[in-house]
Copies of this chain bind each other. A is one copy, B any other.
Amino acid sequence: MVVVEKDLVTLNQDIAGQEIGIPVYRIFYKQRSDKQSFDKKTANKDNANKDALYDLSQVKSTSKKQLPKVYIQSAVHAAEMQGSAVIFKLIEQLKNLTLHAEFTLVPNCNPFGRTQRAGEYLQGRYDATTGNNWNRFYHYEPSDVVEFVETLTEQQISLIENGSESELVLAFKSFLKYKFGLKLDQDWGVNTAQFLNTTLQEIAVDADIVLDLHTGPASTHHIYSPEFLTQSAHAFNFENIISIPTTFAGALDEASFTPWVYLAELLKQKGITLNYKVNAFTIELGSQENICLTQAQSDSGGILNYLQANNLIDGFVGVTPVEVTTTLLKNYKTLFSKHAGMVEYLAKPGDKVNKGQVIARVLNSLEFDTKHAVVDVTAPESGTIILHYPSAAVQVGTQLFKIAVS
């Protein structure tokens, strides 16, 4: 029997003291007498004991086979709502599929951005008091990984040398969670974005697959995949993949896979091979300020296809493959406006454009009586338009287009 459990993890925000929560859904296969309810302690700030030394021996190997875990969140940029519609469609469908994994799904995961209106739109991209991008303050400290490796016992190392990684994996996840707790609990505190992001990581850290659902401004579908996963990312069946290096710039996908890449590197220096990696992606589901349940059904198909390709579910009917283009991050370029004015976007998300092609024109109302009334904007290189700015009103330096240069 597939079970859907719901919990509300509170992230106290309101100046009146009103607790505001993020809904967390867990979907799993439950046998007869299993008692496997949601562990409310995951987001509990009180149980981190910062004075205690971390004791790896506390992490017991469990005889029971652990199922893989999948974590999916949406709308950490609050106006990027289509991911929440996709999570709704995933819940509908997962209930009727065969599950070989446990799922944790967190729609509308940002209670700070969720209430921040800016005119008729939702300004959920950054903390309105600081400008901090809500997707740039996840925790990753390379020194944590070093510290973990230093505490490994002979016994743990011999286990992994004998091909059994699972205990080490469990221990490292537990260690990372312990570090998240320490960070949230420090005397001087953390900023709001760190508080939000690290709290989300406390839930996400258990997962083997992490999907962070976003959208662009006015955008076509695309996926950020770490280089080592671009091949497997084809299974999502979205037309465009941006291949990013395994470095950390603050986002959840990077914060999820980078510690494991570095752990493997450090172990390799000791002659030990670690095969396990967390697979993490940022998935961009079209345009912000918009939801469409019909499109969400299709979007969720790509995710289910990926899950099935990785043996995490069974019974999904599959998708009609599309042609996929992979672009290295260094070739995924931003065209900033050189003019202030009103812009008509001639090239649309998904369009292929050639170098020199007019892709936008800027109207300058002070020059309506001269030949400078309309200024053409041309593509500096050939490629695919992935997204453009959502408004016609631009200033010098506005991010007009992002183009996957071919």
Contact = CB atoms under 8 A, between A and B. Distances in A.
A340 B129 contact: no
Contact of A361 (B20, B78, B123, B293): B293
Nearest to A397: B192
A153 interface: no
Given A15-B340, A120-B389, A191 B21 contact: no
A118 interface: yes
Interface SS majority for chain A: loop
Interface in A334-371: 334-344, 361, 363-369
A107 B16 contact: yes
A50 to B, nearest CB: 13
Interface string A111-136: 11011111111110111111111000
Nearest to A366: B17
Interface in A361-406: 361, 363-369, 373-374, 380, 389-399
Interface stretch (A159-167, A261-269, A284-292): A284-292
A189 interface: yes
Given A91-B368, A335-B189, A361-B293, A115 B12 contact: no
Total copies of the chain = 4
Given A121-B118, A361-B293, A366 B18 contact: yes
Given A17-B367, A342-B15, A131 B120 contact: no
Return the 4 tightest CB-CB contacts between A and B, nearest first: A192-B397, A189-B336, A131-B131, A126-B131
Interface of A: 4, 6, 8, 11-18, 20-23, 25, 78-79, 81, 84-85, 87-88, 91, 105, 107-108, 111-112, 114-123, 125-133, 187-196, 217, 289-293, 333-344, 361, 363-369, 373-374, 380, 389-399
